[in-house]
Amino acid sequence: MDEKLKNRRRGKSFLLSVLIVVISLVVGMIGGVSGIILLGANDGEYAKKIGIENVEIPTTRTEKIIVEESNAIISATEKVSPSVVSVISKQVYQDVFGRTLEASGAGTGFIITSDGLIITNKHVVSSENTEYTVVMADGKSYDAEVKSRDPFNDLAVLKIDAKNLPVVELGDSDQLDVGQWVVAVGNALGQYKNTVTAGIISAKNRDVETAATASLAAETLSDMLQTDAAINPGNSGGPLVNLLGQVVGINTAVATDAQGIGFAIPINVAKSAIDSIKDTGKIIRPYLGVRYVAVTKDIAEQNDLPYEYGAIIIRGSGIGQVAVVPGSPADKADLEENNIILEVDGERIDANITLLALIQKYSVDDEVELKIYDDGEERYIRVTLEEMK
């Protein structure tokens, strides 16, 4: 009988122990939750005592950044899209057998004035005997006239007969930073109107060699923006915009032997052309008449140059690519091959401000002072800019 009593007591003790353990676990869980609540309620005072005041949940911040960037891209797209147009070309011709054939092409443009001036690429509207049509974002179409083709850059201006059109806002491409988000909008592949791609500014001040076409000679485009925002065939002439929806570039070319390398003309380069077309009805460009390479630290070291900035006048590798154009303002001012142009009217030429950009700040017939390095000495010369034809 005593043995049975002992066993009963042992059983009760075991049950009591289990019950205590369960109660302890529950209380511990409640304490943990309370601790979390108290940490928030007491503004982290207790957290400071135990050394965890800097603990963060990174996923929350990451999600917030993604949402903010997505909203900015959406807003920029909504702002610029109504002003983006498709540019359709149609050319009727006869082949060697006398058959009548039709060739068509497509590009992109954007509206810069409410009465129908449109910017696009010169190579989009390069053919003289071609009909051009502009298709608006809402589907309306208009016959388009080529008002002017830029003799200096891959730019052209179209005119349509329309009123009260939505226009883009122009930004400042000089303020762009490498790594900054941008959005490209265009008529991708000539059939997907107002396609949107996003990426970053990958580099600035790039020189791009374009291939010759049936209607355009090969040329060098200088001071281009490089972006990894996808620029597809048909996107040419469309806007590259920042996250404020301001146009900062004009999509122009893509590296066909690479992925994620596209190029756009900085909008500040185009602004003088836009002002010119508004004032005179055509694009008038001042020019100096030299072929040059921007001097960098590496180029200076490799060629034992006394400066790590400026623009050194050199001839090109192709036939007829002279250093100084005969009869040009530079030729008249006695500029020569291997001269280094250091400043234009007191503004230094460097990686951020190129010779090309500085010259385009002026107008035809303006006289500018150049600081140059010539055969071991610095000197100043004055040059009168002329119209590029």
DSSP state of 216: S
Give me the torsion for CA of 45, 48, 52, 54, rounded to 10°: 90
Looking at the DSSP assignment, which residues form a beta bridge with residue 149? 156
Amino acid identity of residue 322, one-letter, is: V
Instruction: Give the residue carrying structure tokens 């058959």.
Output: 99
Alpha-carbon span 255 to 209, nearest angstrom = 10
The catalytically annotated residue of 83, 154, 202, 222 is 154
Indicate if 123 belongs to the active site. yes
141 flagged as catalytic? no
Give the strand pairing for 192-210 and 219-227: antiparallel
SS3 content of the chain, % helix, strand, coil (to 5): 30, 35, 35
β-bridge partners, 84? 110
| C-alpha span between 303 and 217 (Å, rounded) | 31
Q: Token pair of 42, please?
A: 């007491």
Spatial neighbors of 253 by CB under 8 A, at least 6 apart, are 154, 208, 210, 221, 224, 231, 236, 262, 263
154 is catalytic: yes
The catalytic residue among 81, 86, 123, 127 is 123
Q: Which helix (H) or strand (E) holds 13?
A: helix 2-41
Tokens 């007969």 belong to 161
For the chain, the C-alpha Rg in angstroms (whole number) is 33
Catalytic residue, chosen from 236, 272, 276, 328, is: 236
Residues with Cβ within 8 Å of 219's Cβ and at least 6 positions away in sequence, in order, are 154, 209, 210
Task: Give the Cα separation of 381 and 389 in Å (integer).
Answer: 24
Residues recognised as catalytic:
123, 154, 236
